[in-house]
Amino acid sequence: MPGFELFGDKEKSEVEKVLDTGVLMRYGFDGMRDGQWKAKELEAALANRMEVSHVHLLSSGTAALTVALASAGIGAGDEVIMPTFTFVASFESILALGAIPVLVDVDDTLTLNPKAVEKSITDKTKVIMPVHMCGSMADLDALKALCNKYGLLLLEDACQAIGGSYKGKPLGSIGDLGCFSFDYVKTITCGEGGAMVTNNGDYYENAHKYSDHGHDHIGNDRGAEQHPFLGYNFRISELNAAVGCAQILRLNEFITIQEHNYTLLRSALAQIPQVSFRRVPNGGVENYSFLNFFLPSEEITRKAHKALGENGIDACFYWYDNNWHYYRKWEHLTNLKSLGKLPAEVKEGLPDYSKSDFSNSDHWISRTISCLIKLSWTEAEVEKRAQKIISVLRELF
């Protein structure tokens, strides 16, 4: 999956162009740039690839989620519905604004269950945030229908799913807002970076100001710019954006490789009757970054995961015990462990997750193994890997 697997001369060339100018910041220093505006260049390429009107680059995927929420006016006490299976950045971005992360069960798509979402909607709910974990999506039509019914925003966390699509539209472009991560282990990388995408001009205007200390970016004298509202610093650097300029041009190449390797592994695993696969909603196309499959029980899945590791099959994940990606190990959220005082809205409004029943999520995640799909594998390596996985699983059964 990671774009860093295939770093080459294109990435080096783009970075050298920035270093030759000496301007590493995305704003200002117009006379020194020699025409190099890598953040703007990458934003234009992403807008074209994602089929959206507006893109704003940020320093990370976490920053993108935070800025996206802020751009839509989400703040203290507002509730944001998110899945139990995601990365900790999902709830971190919500809490950063004093809003309330409302965890909701996942289904066999491994992301938000629309029926569970509807049961969790209150008069404080403002956003439904599906997270396209491991390269695939939720039932987006059902979630959009809920947003329309209750007057809510749909924010797609597509940080792990760039290159995937739903009914012909790129993932991230379907909601009111979409977010991507370009960190070091994503399908395309900037080293560190992220992006918010939208077709809403107001959200875009808010985002580019909010992420740069409230600067309005009017004119070409940074020192004379106005500050229409408070902001913070979530800027991406020109060096990071330069790497992304090369990587976005390789996205189709990377997706093609991932699909090929994914298909070989899946075809092999499909020979085992006890294996079933994550459901991809009708009209959905994964980005093939992970192969996600279910085994019949938690006990068997634990044994299988251990056996795969013992047999040298790396990059297979058992999320049920994972510290970063599943609610069971989020003690810092459950116990509200914070360096400073949290807003009263958070302390008073956060559900008591120590008493929550997420057994429906446990049913799926406890039986899931996710295999990372690497770009650097040769076909012989993929076939060898497939046979080793089959051998391990057949021995268990």
The fold for domain 252-396 equals Aspartate Aminotransferase, domain 1 (3.90.1150)
The pLDDT, as a whole number, for residue 242 is 98
The residues annotated with a catalytic role in the active site are: 186
Residue found under tokens 């909607």: 121
Q: Encode 211-246: b = buried (16+ Cβ within 10 Å), e = exposed.
A: bbeebeeeeeeeeebeeeeebeebbbbbbbbbbbbb
Q: How far from chain centre, in Å, is Cα 56?
A: 16
Spell out the domain ranges in the chain: 3-251, 252-396
Tell me the pLDDT tens digit for each residue of 153-167: 999 999 999 999 999
Tell me the pLDDT tens digit for each residue of 364-376: 999 999 999 999 9
The fold for domain 3-251 equals Aspartate Aminotransferase; domain 2 (3.40.640)
Average pLDDT score over the chain: 97
The pLDDT, as a whole number, for residue 1 is 83
Cα–Cα distance between 249 and 268 in angstroms, integer? Answer: 31
pLDDT tier, 298 (very low <50, low <70, confident <90, very high otherwise): very high
The pLDDT, as a whole number, for residue 82 is 98
pLDDT at 178 over 90: yes
Radius of gyration of the chain (CA): 21
Identical fold between 3-251 and 252-396: no
Tell me the pLDDT tens digit for each residue of 80-102: 999 999 999 999 999 999 999 99
Tell me the pLDDT tens digit for each residue of 223-266: 999 999 999 999 999 999 999 999 999 999 999 999 999 999 99
